[in-house]
Amino acid sequence: MATKKAAEKSNVSKDELLKYYRDMLLIRRFEEKAGQLYGMGLIGGFCHLYIGQEAVVVGLEAATKEGDKRITSYRDHGHMLACGMEARGVMAELTGRAGGYSKGKGGSMHMFSKEKHFYGGHGIVAAQVPLGAGLAFSDWYKGNDNVTFTYFGDGAANQGQVYETYNMAELWGLPVIFVIENNQYAMGTSVKRATKSTTLYGRGTAYGIPGEQVDGMDVLAVKEAAEKAVAHCRAGKGPYILEMMTYRYRGHSMSDPAKYRTREEVEKIKSEKDCIEHVRDLLTQSGLASEEELKAIDKDIKEIVNDSAEFAKTSPEPDHSELWTDIYA
Ligand SMILES: Cc1ncc(C[n+]2csc(CCOP(=O)(O)OP(=O)(O)O)c2C)c(N)n1
Ligand SMILES: [Mg+2]
């Protein structure tokens, strides 16, 4: 497992660390705001927050280039923000407004951006896995060196379609990185209650796909592993599996009785492993950034998030005429 120590040794600049700090903080504050708006009744339907897991998507995005694609599950707001989609458009979609990425008709789990190569947002567990291989197939077919990042959870990793996809992806040498976000739980079921085969990345061995487990709370370790996986894919060597060991701080969705784990378990991870605190410590303890510099970033992020919430509250609801657009009849 790539460790924090190993990552700290890697040569990382102040600018790079500040970027990770900023990008992770944007996701955290955005999600906290989404949770508030949900509580106020301004967001309806399902809403799955990404709080705690920010280092995974930010570290992986650091290894991407223009043209790379990403696809994920319903826990998707962080992935959108990390690939550069606008906070306003994401928040307004959550509140079901016309200014949202799907014109207010999709909601939390159904947003896309062709421009940023973000292909959703999928509510059916593991459905995005074969779709991700399909996206990778399109690049393989065109003969370019783009890579598709296909994210799914530890629970999704027990779905049959994942293994059919592994087989075909390796057989055809598709440029896809399977990112397992192992946050230890699938709704209320812990990994250990769901399987005896708990090293999820190792299941690729049966299909000839290499993989590794990574400290997903450490953005530098994530980035390092991502670069290795990306190089493998771009070199035409086929798929790669990255199992990110991470943790979600909030409930599975906004309605979660949270009876399957103790408050102490959550607090322990928050105090010992938090991904944002880790980068903050790296910056301040090394003297690379001052408290003032970080405070200025915090303020900036707060403004972006407040602005997105204001936009999401004031953008109009979709016009009735929109009922008949963007549908297959
Ligand atoms: C095919 C299918 N089965 C069941 C569900 C209900 N369901 C929604 S999320 C979820 C848990 C998935 O957990 P995991 O893959 O670990 O992702 P996480 O929520 O932890 O990000 C389940 C069982 C579903 N949406 N689709
Ligand atoms: Mg999970």
The pLDDT tens digits for 143-163 are: 999 999 999 999 999 999 999
Instruction: Give yes or no for residue 193 CB within 6 A of ligand 1.
Output: no
Amino acid at 120: G
Which residues on neighbouring strands pair with residue 118, listed in sequence order? 70, 113
Q: Per the domain annotation, does 319 fall within a domain?
A: no
Q: Per the domain annotation, does 132 fall within a domain?
A: yes
Task: Give the model's pLDDT for residue 10.
Answer: 58
Atom of ligand 1 nearest to the CA of 157: 15
* Crossing angle of the two packed helices 291-314 and 87-94, in degrees rounded to 10: 50
Pocket test for ligand 1, best of 110, 125, 150 (most atoms within 8 A of CB): 125
CA–CA dist 329, 46 (Å, integer): 26
Would you state the structure tokens that stand for residue 113, as one six-digit string? 């951006």
Would you state the structure tokens that stand for residue 116, as one six-digit string? 């940023």
Average pLDDT (157-181) is 98
The alpha helices in the chain, defined as continuous H runs, are 4-9, 14-39, 54-61, 77-82, 87-94, 128-142, 160-172, 191-194, 219-234, 263-273, 275-285, 291-314
Whichever domain contains 22, its CATH number is 3.40.50.970
- Rounded (5°) CA angle 270-274-280: 135
CA–CA dist 224, 89 (Å, integer): 31
Name the pairing type of β-strands 148-153 and 240-245.
Answer: unpaired
Q: Per the domain annotation, does 323 fall within a domain?
A: no
Task: Give the model's pLDDT for residue 3.
Answer: 43
Q: How far is CA 146 from CA 70, 136, 139, 327, in A?
A: 11, 8, 6, 30
CA–CA dist 109, 75 (Å, integer): 7
Instruction: Give yes or no for residue 154 CB within 6 A of ligand 1.
Output: yes
User: How far is ligand 2, taken at its centre, from the CA of residue 69, in Å?
Assistant: 22
User: How far is ligand 2, taken at its centre, from the CA of residue 50, in Å?
Assistant: 11
Name the pairing type of β-strands 211-215 and 148-153.
Answer: unpaired
Q: Per the domain annotation, does 220 fall within a domain?
A: yes
Average pLDDT (226-243) is 98
User: How far is ligand 2, taken at its centre, from the CA of residue 230, in Å?
Assistant: 24
Please check the confidence at residue 2 and state whether its pLDDT lies above 80: no
Q: Per the domain annotation, does 205 fall within a domain?
A: yes
Instruction: Please provide the average confidence, as pLDDT, over all residues in the chain.
Output: 96
- Give the count of domains, the chain: 1
State residue 317 phi and psi, 5-degree precision: -70, 155
Instruction: Give yes or no for residue 185 CB within 6 A of ligand 1.
Output: yes
Quick check: helix, strand or coil at residue 263? helix
Nearest to 241 by CA among 135, 144, 129, 82: 129
Q: Per the domain annotation, does 284 fall within a domain?
A: yes
Structural domain that includes position 139: 4-311
User: How far is ligand 1, taken at its centre, from the CA of residue 153, in Å?
Assistant: 8
Whether the CB-CB separation of 112 and 140 falls below 8 Å is answered with no
Pocket test for ligand 1, best of 187, 189, 247 (most atoms within 8 A of CB): 187
pLDDT digits (tens, 9 = 90+) for 6-50: 445 557 999 999 999 999 999 999 999 999 999 999 999 999 999
Closest ligand (CA of 125): 1
Average pLDDT (76-81) is 98
Q: Per the domain annotation, does 186 fall within a domain?
A: yes
Instruction: Give yes or no for residue 125 CB within 6 A of ligand 1.
Output: yes
CA–CA dist 31, 22 (Å, integer): 14
Closest C-alpha residue for ligand 1 atom 7 = 125
Percent of the chain with pLDDT over 70: 97
Name the pairing type of β-strands 69-71 and 189-190.
Answer: unpaired
Average pLDDT (213-238) is 98
User: How far is ligand 2, taken at its centre, from the CA of residue 153, in Å?
Assistant: 5
Task: Give the model's pLDDT for residue 255.
Answer: 87
Would you state the structure tokens that stand for residue 46, as one six-digit string? 């399902």
What is the C-alpha radius of gyration for the chain, rounded to an integer number of angstroms? Answer: 19
Whether the CB-CB separation of 253 and 48 falls below 8 Å is answered with yes
Average pLDDT (243-263) is 95
Atom of ligand 1 nearest to the CA of 159: 1
